[in-house]
Amino acid sequence: MKSLFGCFLLASALIATFVSAAQSQTVPYRTSFEEPTFTVGNLDGQDDWSNISDPNGAAAIQSEVAGGIRRGSQSLMIEPASIIGRDLTAPSQQVIYVDGFYQGPTVDFIPDATQMEDAGSSLVLFHVTEGIMGLDGNGSGGGSWIASGVDVSTDSFQRITIRQDYNAQT
């Protein structure tokens, strides 16, 4: 099992998540956090998602949706500095994409990667001054946070796409 989605450090509202293998292969996982798969309340345990940083409610499915949502009546709300995750069984492809929409607040600190349990393979941080950052992991529980050069919008949705190449480890 590859931890494709791994964990995300998010501040709030990752609205749609889409994971796909490169070259038009079978999509291993897709969600919009809607019923009947998801019900309003704690995210932990719904469709194999985990509230890693706080199993009692760091992330929840809510019936309130922010403006700009294209469809649906539910969204995922994630508390600042929370970590959520979902392990996925991947097809044989080594290049995987994780795609979603984000709107929400930022955090004002950069976590120490060596102190993050269950870090997963895709970590994104929405930082107040550094903008959208990704963890360039070292393969042994550490690494460096790299700024993307893109500021975080707190009043509109931003599409976030992660490309993971398991062969190249990028």
- CA-to-CA distance for 135 and 20, rounded, in angstroms? 20
Residue 37, domain member (yes or no): yes
- CA-to-CA distance for 60 and 82, rounded, in angstroms? 11
Quote the pTM value: 0.71
Q: In angstroms, how far is the first alpha carbon of the chain from the final one? A: 18
Task: Provide the domain count of the chain.
Answer: 1
Could you say which residues of the chain have pLDDT below 50? 1-18, 20
Residue 161, domain member (yes or no): yes
Q: Residue type at 13? A: A
Q: What is the pLDDT, as a whole number, of residue 49? A: 92
Structure tokens at 160: 């976030």
pLDDT in tens, 147-157: 999 999 888 88
Residue 170, domain member (yes or no): no
Q: Which domain holds residue 45?
A: 2-165
Say if residues 51 and 84 touch (Cβ distance below 8 Å): yes
